[in-house]
Structure 1
Amino acid sequence: MSWRDFWNGEHSIYVSPRHKALHYRAIASDLMAHIPAADAVVLDHGCGEALDAARVASSCGRLLLCEAAPNVREKLRAQFGRKDNITVVSPEEVEALPEASLDLVVANSLVQYLSRDELKALLETWRGKLKPDGKLVIADVIPPNVSPLTDASQLLAFAWRGGFLTAALAGLVRTAFSDYRKLRAQYGLSTYTSEAISELISEAGFVDLQRPTNFGHNPHRMTFKAAKPN
């Protein structure tokens, strides 16, 4: 099983429907804070189920939802297929987009599932698809010193605030015996120091690198924002 296979099937990453809804609501709000204009063309690369995408789409001109898992793409099309300004695409379709056609690219909680070479290739693709002065936001990057225990504690804190603590405790037990834990042990997750990923972003030709607040509930992970030069 690969990470794509995992996300393409049934899993228990979200401990309850409330957890999933609150997660995607928070991510949507964080993404919307970076939309530069009401007519912006936005790519959410690695969007997952993107439950709150309609709200994001109401804040921009066009929203492209990119997901590698075919089953997830079908769910997205079933949910948002009638929205005129939402388009669901595969990674291959992102590569086929016209050059300089995007105002904003967001990749939240994606790079940990990519190899260094895969990330470098995506950075090149994103740079080509962005308009001059278009923005790239890479969120939820895991530093090497953040352990699964830290992630678990942040989930419990989020669950306490969100009213699903009992479900979160049960979910952590399920995760301990799940395919996610097995895959994480087998393949690991890609981690980066701030300096290492900043260097990759700069080497790809981006400028004006910033460190905004991280997306989602875990402040121990990192978000980076950069621009394509004019």
Structure 2
Amino acid sequence: MTASWREFWNRDNAIYVNDRHRARHYAGLAGEVALLVPHAAAQVLDHGCGEALSAERVAAACGRLYLCDAAPRVRAALAARLAGRPGIVVLAPEELGRIPDATLDLVVANSLAQYLTAAELTACLEVWRAKLRPGGRLVLADVIPPDLGAAADARALLAFAREGGFLGAALLGLARTALSDYRALRRRLGLARYTEAEMLARLDAAGFRAARRARNLGHNQGRMAFEAEARAAGA
């Protein structure tokens, strides 16, 4: 039996209904992240990057791209695929200390907060704040509000699938997911959920000046995204 979310993401799973879904997801996300990069020499961290199939697009928009994921299997695949690509560094979460403090221009953490405990999120916020340079930004995206249920997620997926040309596969995929260990793990471990006020309070307590973004990253606009900048000491 899968014991943790890290273990779940470290093996094959049914989250993406087919290769087209996976490719469309990562291509769309990379396009959005690339637009967040402030300048061509920027240092960027994508924390919780997953397979990052279109990481090259983000790397082309910045000076250095750090890809961080907790799953060893995912990191190994990234390192093999991106070997020899200048400006891309693959890291485990425990290796983030290799990034010099106050050097990052942008941190993106998409679809990560829901898989972290409150203590783990607090620890991440502390690390991100330390690594961001003055004026650097954190974008914390795909945060699940308490009132968003699985049915709303399914509707968002089906709309994305209709647009992307994989609606039939998505319908079958939803049926598979209902019978998979993802659903059982979601019931057993849960997903962390936050109201807008709760997440803003957490960001404020961690030393950030934050606001909710008008749009979430990715296809599910029922979820939330926040943009934050580290406050100056004493502010």
Q: Which amino acid aligns with 2:164?
A: G
Correspondent of 2:95 among 93, 96, 115: 93
Cα displacement (A) at 1:208: 4.7
Shift, 1:49, TM fit: 0.1
2:132 equivalent in structure 1? 130
Cα distance in 1 for residues equivalent to 2:103 and 2:181: 38
Q: What is the match of residue 151 of structure 1?
A: 153
Letter in 1 for 2:205: E
Q: Deviations over 1:143-186 (max 9, x none)?
A: 00000000001101100010000100110011011111111010
User: 1:50-129 residue pairs with structure 2 within 5 A?
Assistant: 50-129=52-131
Unaligned residue ranges in structure 2 (runs of 5+): none
1:227 paired residue among 207, 226, 229: 229
Distance 1:220 1:210, change over 3 A: closer
Amino acid at match of 1:56: V
**One of 18, 22, 29 as aligned partner of 2:24:** 22
- Superposed CA deviations along residues 99-149 of structure 1, whole A, max 9, x for unmatched, are 112111000000000011110111011000110111000000000000000
Which amino acid is the alignment partner of residue 163 of structure 1? G
- Distance, in Å, in 2 between the alignment partners of 1:135 and 1:185 is 33
Q: In structure 2, what is the Cα distance between the partners aligned to 1:100 and 1:31?
A: 20
CA contact (8 A) 2:212 2:224 kept: no
Distance in 2 (CA, whole Å) between partners of 1:119 and 1:196 is 13
For structure 1, the 5+ residue unaligned runs are none
Q: TM-score, normalised by structure 1?
A: 0.98
**Do 1:212 and 1:225's aligned partners in 2 also have CA atoms closer than 8 Å?**
no
TM-score, L = length of structure 2: 0.96
SS of the residue aligned with 2:139? Answer: strand
SS in 1 for 2:36: coil
In structure 2, the residue matched to 1:185 is 187
Q: What letter corresponds to residue 111 of structure 2 in structure 1?
A: S
Measured against aligned partners, the alpha-carbon deviations of 1:50-77 in whole angstroms (never above 9, x if no partner) come to 0000011000000000000000000101
Contact 1:209 1:227 in 2 (8 A): no
Aligned residue identity for 1:203: A
**2:210–2:226: 8 Å Cα contact kept in structure 1?**
no
Q: Is the 8 A contact 1:140 1:214 kept in 2?
A: yes
Deviates more, 1:48-57 or 1:200-209: 200-209
- Provide the rounded CA distance (Å) in 1 between the counterparts of 2:230 and 2:180: 40
Counterpart Cα distance in 2 of 1:2 and 1:179: 11
Alpha carbons 1:47, 1:108 under 8 Å: kept: yes
Q: Using the alignment, how far apart are the partners of 2:115 and 2:75 within structure 1?
A: 18
Q: Which amino acid aligns with 2:179?
A: F
Question: Does structure 2 retain, via aligned residues, the 8 Å contact 1:81–1:87?
Answer: no
**Deviating runs (4+, > 2 A) in structure 1?**
none
**Matched residues in 1 for 2:50 and 2:210: separation?**
28
